[in-house]
Structure formats: structure tokens, C-alpha cells
Amino acid sequence: MTKRILPVLAGLALVAALAVALSSPPDVLQGDFVRILYIHVANAWLAFLAFGVTAAASIGWLVRKKPGYDRVAASSAEIGVLFTAVTLFTGMIWGKPIWGTFWDWGDARMASTALMFFVYLGYLALRRATPDRQARARRSAILGVIAVVQVPLVYFSVTLWRTLHQGLTIRPDSVQMEPAMLVALLVNVGAFSLLYLALLTARVRLARLEEAAEAHERAPAGRAVTAPRLETGQ
Amino acid sequence: MSSFWRQALQVAKRDLLVEGRAGEGVGIVLPFGALAVFVVPLATSGSASLLADLAAPVYWLVTLLFGMQLALRQTATETVPQRRLLVLLGLDPVARFVGRTLSAWVLLIGLQLVLIPLVVLFYEPEPVPTPALMLPALALYALGLAMLGTLAGDLTVGLRTRTALAPMLAAPLAVPLVMGASQSLISISRGEGILTWTLLLVATDLALSVAGVVTARPLEETAT
């Protein structure tokens, strides 16, 4: 049931989010470029969530050793990498007209986000490089727990280092944003959260099928003792 | 001396003995790193001011990349039977991590010390007013790299793609170390304090040591 409902819901929510983002007022300084930020910020938050889920599932695997945790950890990391890539890309296309540059090497948030991206690319590379399922789960679970340190570093980089990137706009005690813009941002965050859930459930299901296919391919005997197929037509 | 430290020192001593016999670090990685320092100026216009500006970045880059090669050298990689034997002998996995880190640290310090005169000779950077102030930063930088190399090496042990994969895992996590060490040098050159950058190095080393201690046992299971 969720197999069909979640993607449909996510699709509808994304359409609604796009409509809200396009109909929200332009920013006094940034003009229409502010609309890029609704996608940029939503993707960044979802990337944090995805890597947090990877870490939690990794701890779950290390404690319980159940394959389901490994599937969730790996699937969430893949989606997190995708969201981080979108975050970096949208940040760059927003940065050119607003800051005058695609990339600023002195900016702590940009540099730390790129590093987080590479750390999780390494996580995925480690998984691909480890053929044994048990070893793959253990190694990636350890890295998944270590790598999550990047998330708070990226999040707080704007307060730890005062560089080009703006500080935290939404804090527990105050929100420095126009209500209409805040609504557009929250609708986008909600829509992308649904997209994350839809992608996660689909990827976990795919991982389960991949494992079943892998187990089938490795099944001993049976097919190995079938009669030889003789070439015909020669 | 406690059993733990005796074990750790034994592991470090064994690693350094193997390195002394095989000479992979001193005979191959170190000359290769020196060659990299030598090749960079050939790829530039040869301008003296450009080379002086490049001196520190080249130094940090070469120590990072070749330091990883040192920490991950093939002769220090234990095979699965060797790892199983160590487990059966009752070697504490944390002592093993500490020992491996210590041996890599000694070699990394050696790499750093050899590269300094080469960079000074070939790039002629602006002299640093009080170079002795850099010693703690260099030691902390090497310690962090040694721990990262040991962790990445253990995570990728037995994999065919280890040579490329382990540095890929370690390099992004080494950025706070590179930042701490390189900014210390810049601050010393400007006559400013280096407390903030030293604290960054100490904090990173502490985080890595906690990661090493916590993951030592699960990593031991991985390799056996």
C-alpha cells in the first residue's frame, strides 16, 4: 500500500511546494533568486536527517546485527548524498548572482558541506568495495557512526566561524524571516521530507530484492549439476 | 609498565622492525614524496614569488597524501591469519590500535622532518620567525594522520581497492588537521598566537582517539 501512496503523496506535495515557492513574495535584496533557497535549505535539512538516520541505523546494526538496519543505513546514506549534491548545486547557482561567485573558499559552511559530501561518497565506495555482506555491514556501520560527526560541524559552522554564509535564520527563540517566506520554506521542507520517505522505502525494498537475487545467484548445487547445454546448429 | 602499554609498545616495535627490514616507507614512500616536492615547481612558471607562496600548501598536501601512504604501507598490513593469531594470543584490540598509531606517528614525523629542508631549499619561502613554535602543531598533525591512517587501514583491510579507498576515506576527515597545522604556520609567520589552532588539533586528535578506541573491537571482528 505505502509502495504506491508515498510516491503519489510526495509528487503531489512537491507540486504544491513548487507552487508555493513560485507564488511567495520576492526578497527585497535577492529578488526572485530567493526561491532557490526554498529548495536549497530543504535539501540541506533532509541531508542532515538522512545522515542522522544512517548513524542511528548503523548503531542499531552494531547492537542488534539485523540486516534491516544495514539496509536502512545504506539507503539513507545514498539519498543523503543525493540531497547534499542538490544542496551544493543550488547553493552555487544562488551564490553567483547574490555573492558574485559560485564558490567561496573562505566560507566554512560551503567547505564543510563539500567535505561531508566526500565523506559519504567514501561511505558508499566502502560498501561497493566490500563483497561480503556481513563485513560490508560491519565496516559501513563503523564508518556511519564516525562520519555523522560532520553533521553538527556543518550545521554549526556558521556560528563557529563567521564567514560569508549567513547565520542561523530559524532558532528556537526567534525566526528572522517573513511569514510568507517561512510558509514557503516549511511547505518545501515537508514536501522534500515526503520525497525522502518515498525514496527511502523504495531503496530499502530494492536492497532487499538485491540481497535475494544475490543469495539466489550464490545458491550452491542445484543449477551446478544440471545437464550440459549442447551447442546446436553446427 | 601495565600489560596494555607493553602490548601497544610491542606492536609499535614490531611494525618499526618490519619497516626497517622492508624499507617500504623510508625507501619508497619518502623518496616518492620528495620527488613530488621537486616536480611541482617544474609545472609552474618558475617565478620565485609564486614558489614561495606555494611552499606551505605543497608541504601540507605532500605530507597528507604521502603520510597516508606511509600509514597504509603494505608491509604493515596484517593478513587474516596474522590477525587471528593476535586475537588468540589475547592482544587487546585497543593496544593494537595504539601500537599501530605510534609506529605510523614515528614514520610521519620522519617524513615531515625530511620534507621541511627540501621545501625550504626548492621553494625558498619567507622565513618563519620562531620555527620551534611549529613543533607541537607538527606533532599533533602527524598524530592525527597516524590515527586516521590506522582507522582507514583497518576499515579497508583485505579489500582489493584498499590503496585508493583508504586515503579517500581518510582525506576529508583529515581537513581539520590540515587546517590546524597550516593556520598555525600562518599565525606564527604573522606573529600571532596559535592557541585556537592548537586546540583544534588537540580536539581532532581526541575525537579520533575516541573513535579508534570505540571501534577497535568491532574492527577486530571485521578482519578476522
Residue A44 lies in a domain: yes
Q: Which domain holds residue A103?
A: 36-167+200-214
**A48 is written with which cell numbers?**
542532515
CB A109 within 8 A of CB A40: no
**Cβ pairs bridging A and B (under 8 Å):** 52
> What's the total number of domains in chain A?
1
Q: How far apart are CA B108 and CA B96, in angstroms?
A: 18
Find the chain B residues whose C-beta atoms sit closer than 8 A to any C-beta of A: 151, 155-156, 159-162, 165, 168-169, 171-173, 175, 207, 211, 215, 218-219, 221-222
| Residue among B97, B23, B32, B99 nearest B66 (CA) | B32
User: pLDDT-based confidence at A233, cuts 50/70/90?
Assistant: very low
| A203-214 per-position pLDDT tens digit | 999 999 988 888
The answer to whether A147 and A137 are in contact (CB under 8 A) is: no
- Give per-residue pLDDT as tens, B56-115: 999 999 999 999 989 888 888 888 888 888 888 889 999 999 999 999 999 999 999 999
Q: What is the pLDDT of residues B19-57, one digit of tens each?
A: 999 888 889 999 999 999 999 889 888 788 999 999 999
**Residue A142: which of A59, A19, A229, A64 has the closest Cα?**
A59
A56, amino acid identity: A
Distances A25 to A14, A21, A90, A183, B137 between C-alpha atoms, Å: 19, 9, 19, 11, 51
Average pLDDT over residues A145-174: 77
pLDDT score at A224: 57
Taking a C-beta distance cutoff of 8 angstroms, is the pair B152, B170 a contact? Answer: yes
Instruction: Give chain A positions within 8 Å (CB) of B161.
Output: 125, 129
The three cell numbers of residue B92 are 587487546
Q: For residue A23, what is its C-alpha cell?
A: 507564488
B152: Cβ contacts below 8 Å, ≥ 6 apart: B68, B71, B72, B166, B167, B169, B170
Contact of A185 with A41, CB cutoff 8 Å = yes
Over range A141-152, report the average pLDDT: 90
Q: Are B73 and B18 in contact (CB under 8 A)?
A: no
Give the number of C-alpha atoms closer than 13 A to the C-alpha of residue A225, restricted to the C-beta side.
4
Q: Which of A192-206, B74-88, B159-173 has the lowest mean pLDDT?
A: B74-88
Q: What CA–CA distance (Å, rounded) separates A180 from A187?
A: 11
Q: Is A65 left (phi over 0), alpha (psi -120 to 50) or beta?
A: left
Cβ pair A57, A70 in contact under 8 A: yes
Per-chain mean pLDDT for chain A:
87
Residue A55 lies in a domain: yes
Of B168, B171, B221, the CB nearest to A138: B221
Give residue A234's pLDDT.
Answer: 42
Domain ranges of chain B: 3-223
CB contact at 8 A, A147 and A58: no
Q: What tens digit of pLDDT does each residue of A113-134 get? A: 999 999 999 999 999 999 888 9
